Amino acid sequence: MSLTLIGLGLCDYNDISLRGLEALKQADVVYFENFTNILACSIKEMEKAYGRMITPVKREFLEPGEGLIAEAQSRRVALLVIGDPLTATTHISLFLRAKEKGVAVEVIHNASVMSAVAITGLQPYKFGMTSSLPFPGSSFKPETAYEVIKRNKASGMHTLLLLDLKPDEGRFMGIGEAIDILLSIEEKRLDGVFATNTPCIGCARLGWPDCRIICGKASELRKADFGKPPHCLVVPGSLHFVEEEAIGGYRLNHS
Instruction: Tell me, yes or no, whether 254 lies in a domain.
Output: no
Q: Percent of the chain beyond pLDDT 90?
A: 88
Element of type H or E holding 251:
none
The predicted structure's pLDDT at residue 168: 86
Average pLDDT over residues 185-195: 96
Indicate the pLDDT class of residue 156, thresholds 50, 70 and 90.
very high
Instruction: Tell me, yes or no, whether 253 lies in a domain.
Output: no
Average pLDDT over residues 165-186: 95
Instruction: Tell me, yes or no, whether 168 lies in a domain.
Output: yes
Q: For 194-220, what is each residue's pLDDT tens digit?
A: 999 999 999 999 999 999 999 999 999
The predicted structure's pLDDT at residue 187: 96
Are 194 and 149 within 8 A, CB to CB? Answer: yes
Indicate the pLDDT class of residue 139, thresholds 50, 70 and 90.
confident
Indicate the pLDDT class of residue 171, thresholds 50, 70 and 90.
very high
Select from 111, 142, 169 the last residue of a domain.
111
Same domain, 238 and 118: yes
Burial class of 113 by CB neighbour count within 10 A (0 to 12, 13 to 18, 19+)? buried
Mean pLDDT over each residue of the chain, to the nearest integer = 95
DSSP type of residue 22: H
Q: For 10-63, what is each residue's pLDDT tens digit?
A: 999 999 999 999 999 999 999 999 888 999 999 999 999 999 999 999 888 888
Q: Which residues form the domain of 141?
A: 114-248
Select from 82, 111, 140 the last residue of a domain.
111
pLDDT at 254 over 70: no
Same domain, 107 and 121: no
Torsion of CA 60, 66, 72, 74, to 10 degrees: -130
**CATH number of the domain residue 132 falls in:** 3.30.950.10
Residues constituting the chain: 255
Instruction: Tell me, yes or no, whether 181 lies in a domain.
Output: yes
Which residues, 6 or more positions from 235, have their beta carbon under 8 angstroms from its beta carbon? 149, 152, 153, 158, 159, 161, 194, 198, 199, 200, 201
The predicted structure's pLDDT at residue 90: 83
Burial class of 241 by CB neighbour count within 10 A (0 to 12, 13 to 18, 19+)? exposed
Rounded CA-CA distance 230/40 in Å is: 10
Select from 84, 111, 138 the last residue of a domain.
111
pLDDT at 154 over 50: yes
Average pLDDT over residues 228-238: 97
How far apart are the two ends of the chain, measured CA to CA in Å? 57
Total of domains in the chain: 2
